[in-house]
Amino acid sequence: MITTKDITKIYNPNKIAVHALNGVDVTIDAGEFTAIVGPSGSGKTTLLNIIGGLDRPTDGEVKIGSTNIAELNDNQLIDFRKENIGFVFQAYNLIPVLTAKENVEFVMLLQGRSKTERDERVNELLHAVGLDEKTNKRPAELSGGQQQRVAVARALAPKPKFILADEPTANLDSKSTANLLDLMLELNQKEKVTFIFSTHDQRVIDRARRVITLVDGKIASDVTKT
């Protein structure tokens, strides 16, 4: 479970202060498939980054399970993210000099997993995302949709408790988006991984089971579909 309590984020507080988040309270249960939406500047990416420990709140707490990640120091936060959180970004963020296989196994190397375990997990995930034949291809040799599938496999590789996806379909065509969302839903259902999206994309919003709308850094609505 993820719980934020009275999260506030102020950028440039000593000059012209920008209030990105204003007292956000939200709880996201394990296994959810949730979209955080809102106009540009509403605070959705800031909220996603704070939940993922990529940014720190100005005030408030963020609990993942029993851990308040806002209280962790930088090294503790890195270790916590490595074991618990997977990230999928709009720009893919693959390492250009590494193959698909090497990109997917990278976090597992940092975790100290054995070669046998890494190979089994990489083969399993590249098969799951339909890229068995692209194992040794570098990012420049893959289409945008294929690169994003590698990014999803990489996010899943360390078996995180949840995946944070920031505008993951922004650079994809309709077919690639549909394929990626089908894949994420399947992984959500089969592996019970929690997915949380920050998105403008109506195609993502339509697939989400819960939609949290932010306006001016506050939750304007929170709807779970039946």
Look up the pTM and report it: 0.86
Listed residue (129, 79, 76, 141) closest to 104, CA to CA: 129
Tens digit of each residue's pLDDT (9 = 90 or more) over 207-222: 999 999 999 999 999 9
Contacts of 63 (CB under 8 A, 6+ apart): 1, 2, 3, 4, 5, 69
Given a contact cutoff of 8 angstroms between Cβ atoms, the answer to whether 79 and 107 are in contact is: no
Domains of the chain by start residue, with CATH: 2-224 (3.40.50.300)
3-class DSSP assignment, residue 113: coil
Q: Name 10's bridge partners.
A: 19
Q: Tell me the pLDDT tens digit for each residue of 32-72.
A: 999 999 988 899 999 999 999 989 999 999 999 889 998 88
Q: Residue 162 pairs with which residues in a beta bridge?
A: 85, 194
